[in-house]
Structure 1
């Protein structure tokens, strides 16, 4: 049974302290945009998110990619579906759990710009943890900016070539990059936020393991948990909204981050937008229209989805 957007949305609001019942989880993980896997967690196609403006079959995301090394089905899917993998993790994470090597798939990783320190739990005490998540996600934009640049360069220079990106759980760092891509493509803010929230469902198979990992990373225990711990581990629409507001305050929006911090030109940005939405279709149209002696203006606007009669 394929779940509707509303059904997935309600399930994504499940408190992280409570398990999602198996009879509800299985239909969710076999409904688009999820891709079923017995080893990878939170596997999704960005273009299959309801309301997504991204081209179908272009961009994928996941967590626990290292487990694919012993899963023939996962390896077969990766080999057939993507041409490049981007790793958004620290050197220590990569050393503990290296990405699999797959024939025909290029692995890309860049060292982080600075040490990715553990979150400060005191930042998550107030409200639903909005202050803490905003701070952490803005930090991600800075620390992993070289990898984010490489993803955008790939979209600009290799139109239509499918790729996958991941961190450890495929939730936070991966979610930030997904938010950048969805926003640049023109996906409505409500649908970008919906995509972010789906990670509550996608990480459910590893929920207990991820909670233990978070406790170790922050020095808390199940018997003596910090009051900000569950806010840090939760996904809430208000936290994503706080992050987006932070991007606006710090960079002037997603476009400002891409141009002023990552160094892309306005022309680069428009090419990236177009390739996110249309892949290499736009290039084929451009060649055909140019051969038909269309004006440059008509070629650009036809490729952007409008039909003009200059030809």
Structure 2
């Protein structure tokens, strides 16, 4: 496993610059990443440097539609995934449906409302912090029923490893991973590193995701003001979002208790199930 500083340095590579296969291949085949053939950006939150999470329980990934038979064997067998949570929109699911996995429950919950199109004007200033704060706060709200279901799984089914994914496994999945790591007691440095690792994890499909972002934002070109900041990953953007959660909800834990209805006892059990083998 590479140390945290080396991982963060590579993850800070500008999205317009290629991370070569010679650079990313050793990382993507080493913890916290797990090679699952046919998908990408797959990792075990319990194998992050300095994570409080136990290994082999909480996983995150990009889209699963192209998983191969070998990748399927890893998910079903080696990792022992028992439940998959799909955070995508109905349109994304229809275009690239998840395959069926033997003995694995697939959970998708209709969001409270459709995702809005990011306003690139809000990403122009600085490194796009205002746009990211706004976009991720919307993710927190729109997918709250999914957050509740995943946390109920952690509380009630600690023996059943689970995987959370969206299309890139970057933004929506990244927001949830940050929430989960916070509830487990991870440091802000560890949470920010997990967020940034998606820059490396998505490199094999970087061009495809650039096209996905172009379509999702209705950008006229990659040179449109704000688009460059939107497609980059920076710790400043994550920190701006965390500041927004603190101001809007009083922090992740308060959001989970006051907005999702979990008791102090629930939170204690969730943390225990996340951290105890």
Normalised to the residue count of structure 1, the TM-score between the two structures is 0.86
- Give me the whole-angstrom Cα distance separating, in 1, the residues matched to 2:17 and 2:149: 37
Aligned to 1:75: 72
What is the match of residue 268 of structure 1? 266
Question: Residues 61 and 164 of structure 2 are in contact (CA less than 8 Å); yes or no, is this contact kept in structure 1?
Answer: yes
Work out whether 1:30 is the aligned partner of 2:40: no
Work out the CA distance in 2 between the residues paired with 1:148 and 1:218: 25
Q: Which of the pair has more CA radius of gyration?
A: 1
C-alpha distance in 1 between matches for 2:100 and 2:29: 26
Gaps of 5+ in 1: 280-311
Instruction: Let me know the Cα RMSD of the aligned residues.
Output: 1.1
Matches within 5 A, 1:93-104: 93-104=92-103
1:265-308 CA distance string (max 9 Å, x none): 111111111111115xxxxxxxxxxxxxxxxxxxxxxxxxxxxx
Query: Is 1:121–2:120 an aligned residue pair?
Result: yes
- Measure, in 2, the Cα distance between the counterparts of 1:41 and 1:113: 28
Counterparts of 2:25 and 2:147 in 1: how far apart (Å)?
32
SS in 1 for 2:66: helix
Determine the structure 1 residue equivalent to 2:248: 250
Query: Match of 2:110, SS?
Result: coil
For 1:96-124, what per-residue CA distance to the aligned partner results, in whole angstroms no more than 9, with x for missing partners?
11111111000001001001111110010
Structure 2 gap ranges (5+): none
Per-residue deviation, 1:5: 2.2
Q: Does the 8 A contact of 1:3 with 1:27 survive in 2?
A: no
Q: Contact 1:88 / 1:147 at 8 angstroms: preserved in 2? A: yes
* Pair 1:144-2:147 in alignment: no
Report how far residue 220 of structure 1 moved: 2.0
Offset at 1:212? 1.1
Give distance in 1, aligned partners of 2:97 and 2:111.
16
Q: Which residue of 1 aligns with 2:53?
A: 54
Offset of residue 39 of structure 1: 1.4
Q: Does the Cα contact within 8 Å between 2:36 and 2:75 map onto a contact in 1?
A: no
- Native 8 Å contact 2:42 2:61 kept in 1: yes
Deviation at 1:160, TM superposition (A): 2.8
1:287 counterpart residue number: none
Distance 1:218 1:110 in 2: 23
Report the equivalent of 1:226: 224
How many residues get paired? 275
Distance in structure 2 (CA, Å) of the matches to 1:195 and 1:217? 24
The answer to whether structure 1 residue 111 and structure 2 residue 110 are counterparts is yes
Q: Superposition pairs for residues 182-221 of structure 1, below 5 Å?
A: 182-221=181-220
